Structure 1
Amino acid sequence: MTRTLLITGCSSGIGHHAAHTMAARGWQVFAACRREEDCARLRAEGLPAPLIDYERPTTIERGLAEVLDATGSRIDALFNNGAYAIPGLVEDLPVDGLRAIFEANFFGWHDLTRRVIPVMRQQGAGRIVQNSSVLGFAAAPWRGAYNATKFALEGLTDTLRIEMRGTGIDVVLIEPGPIRTRFRANAAKQFERWIDWEASARCDDYERLMGRLHDDRAARFELSAAAVTKVLIPALESPRPRPRYRVTVPTKIAATMKRLLPTRTMDRIVSNS
């Protein structure tokens, strides 16, 4: 029987590459996007593409219903993927901005995940893969909003993994570092929308560091989206997947440093990163 997979955030980058790769491996892939024009483009590329926008709960309900109608109420795997960042200092982050990013990066993921669990439980098996980040376990300055959503995601996912023991539903985290996508370009738009940096008490810091907000130093360590798909394959297909898959050198270094170094030492290192 063909295995079914729902992937979110497929308009470009990680989701787009993963959708086409997993379809080529024989999965029936539903490549969700948050804009109808992107869904239409994916359909033209040969992939069913339901409209799912994490910030609009009605699209989550309708999008999943579309998948279940097409598969006879079966879903073997979910890859939660779509997310964005709001660069800026925590003290300058408006509450409304934080609410918005949590809807997109956390609450929407939780909503969709809760909806697929009863289907997977009825089947007796399923796989839930969450695309987190190095910033889900290692804090970095100027990235507080994204850090907050990914730290929350990791805590919720770890708990869910424990609670799903014995149900046949495996829960997996992928923790990428810098990946070559439109992520920074999208983050720049969110920065312009939410951060009034010229009114900040630290506007001089923004002026000095503005270039880094739009062109992260970590870019030299970037890998292509294929690096994430490479670990997504065992996360979805291994009979006994790992709880975590870490991608990119910075992620693996950060995990080692986090384990070995005192907190204040880590703070000094990331303050200069």
Structure 2
Amino acid sequence: MTKTSILITGCSSGIGRYCAEQLHQAGYQVIASCRKLEDVSELKALGLHCIQLDVTDKHSVHAALEQTMQITGGKLDVLFNNAGYGQGGAIEDLPTDALRAQFETNLFGLHELTRAVIPLMLKQGHGKIVQDSSVLGLVAMKYRGAYVASKFALEGYTDALRLELMDTNITVSLIEPGPIVSQFRANSFKAVQQNIDVEGSRHRDSYQKTLARLGSEKSSTPFTLGPEAVLKQLQKILDSKQPKPRYYVTKATYIFGYLRRILSSSMLDKIVSKGN
């Protein structure tokens, strides 16, 4: 029996790594990708197919896809676009280059890879594209404007792509996690420190609280789950002949997804403005 092949981006840690390891153990032909060579070597040592892929580098994207085709014998059943990070900071404090970098990773790199994969899936007559979005692709929160913008864009991008592929055997789904145990908070912490003038901002006090939270080893965010919660929804997509457009993960996503539908914008603003 031919193994189902799946290319997963962003496998250095967190959701990507967990899903890659677990699906490999379950018998899938997993091609994990990482931006750093040392992470590639680490996953290879665990017995996984792992390739270097920097989604912000066009040449890296196409070279990685070519390597993937060599491993799989020219086919790809599933693409899981998981790579991403969160740039924190108030929009007024956010350098344009930092916003551009957020989109380069969370949307433009994803687009480069997705656009290259679609012709392959059309030729083979089937395929599944899975996007790792966020509850912050459904509702906005302050001090996360760059990340929110990239995920709102991903939601619209994916909806349009799904419509355009309706007459094919390629399905497109979004996984929308709330808080998940990963390196996401630590990477957000670094991004704030690197790009935001915390001391010079009128939001300094709020930043200090946020940085203290991000710097904590243990998440204080309610409803936080482990990466296995994302794998559970990914597995549903893999097992389904006709996956759903959206899969929620964590109570936070279900709650805010519901509130977005029933509340006015002003009422929803009052609720989410309490978050930091």
One fold, TM greater than 0.5? yes
Q: What letter is aligned with 1:205? A: S
- Which residue of 1 is the match for residue 128 of structure 2? 127
Once residues 220 and 102 of structure 2 are traced to their aligned partners in structure 1, the CA distance between those partners, rounded to angstroms, is: 22
Partner secondary structure for residue 6 of structure 1: strand
Partner secondary structure for residue 198 of structure 1: coil
Residues 208-217 or 82-91, more deviating: 208-217
> In structure 2, which of residues 228, 231, 234 is the aligned counterpart of residue 229 of structure 1?
231
Does 2:257 match 1:255?
A: yes
Once residues 195 and 266 of structure 1 are traced to their aligned partners in structure 2, the CA distance between those partners, rounded to angstroms, is: 27
- Answer yes or no: is the 8 Å Cα contact 2:7–2:79 preserved in 1: yes
User: Residue 209 of structure 1: CA displacement?
Assistant: 4.4
Does 2:84 match 1:62?
A: no
Cα deviations by residue, 1:170-227 (Å, 9 ceiling, x for unpaired): 0000000000001000100001110011112333433454424545976232100000
Partner secondary structure for residue 170 of structure 1: strand
Give the total of aligned pairs. Answer: 273
Cα deviations by residue, 1:144-189 (Å, 9 ceiling, x for unpaired): 0100110000100000011101210000000000000010001000
Once residues 37 and 209 of structure 2 are traced to their aligned partners in structure 1, the CA distance between those partners, rounded to angstroms, is: 39
Once residues 194 and 133 of structure 2 are traced to their aligned partners in structure 1, the CA distance between those partners, rounded to angstroms, is: 24
- Answer yes or no: is the 8 Å Cα contact 1:42–1:49 preserved in 2: yes
Partner secondary structure for residue 188 of structure 1: helix
- Which residue of 2 is the match for residue 116 of structure 1? 117
- Answer yes or no: is the 8 Å Cα contact 2:213–2:219 preserved in 1: yes
- Which residue of 2 is the match for residue 78 of structure 1? 79
User: Residue 27 of structure 1: CA displacement?
Assistant: 1.3
- Which residue of 2 is the match for residue 265 of structure 1? 267
Where does structure 2 lack aligned partners over 5 or more consecutive residues? Answer: none
Residues 198-207 or 118-127, more deviating: 198-207
- Answer yes or no: is the 8 Å Cα contact 2:186–2:214 preserved in 1: no
Once residues 78 and 165 of structure 1 are traced to their aligned partners in structure 2, the CA distance between those partners, rounded to angstroms, is: 17
- Answer yes or no: is the 8 Å Cα contact 1:129–1:171 preserved in 2: yes
Does 2:81 match 1:87?
A: no
- Answer yes or no: is the 8 Å Cα contact 2:189–2:211 preserved in 1: no
Cα deviations by residue, 1:12-63 (Å, 9 ceiling, x for unpaired): 1111111122122221000100101000000001111111111111111111
Once residues 270 and 217 of structure 1 are traced to their aligned partners in structure 2, the CA distance between those partners, rounded to angstroms, is: 19
Does 2:29 match 1:24?
A: no
- Which residue of 2 is the match for residue 36 of structure 1? 37
- TM-score for the superposition, normalised by structure 1: 0.96
Once residues 154 and 68 of structure 2 are traced to their aligned partners in structure 1, the CA distance between those partners, rounded to angstroms, is: 24
Once residues 217 and 38 of structure 1 are traced to their aligned partners in structure 2, the CA distance between those partners, rounded to angstroms, is: 24
- Which residue of 2 is the match for residue 171 of structure 1? 172
- TM-score for the superposition, normalised by structure 2: 0.95
- Answer yes or no: is the 8 Å Cα contact 2:141–2:273 preserved in 1: yes
Where does structure 1 lack aligned partners over 5 or more consecutive residues? Answer: none
Partner secondary structure for residue 176 of structure 2: strand
Change (3 A) 1:133 1:46: same
- Answer yes or no: is the 8 Å Cα contact 1:87–1:213 preserved in 2: no
Structure 1 runs, 4 residues or longer, greater than 6 Å off: none
Once residues 80 and 235 of structure 1 are traced to their aligned partners in structure 2, the CA distance between those partners, rounded to angstroms, is: 14
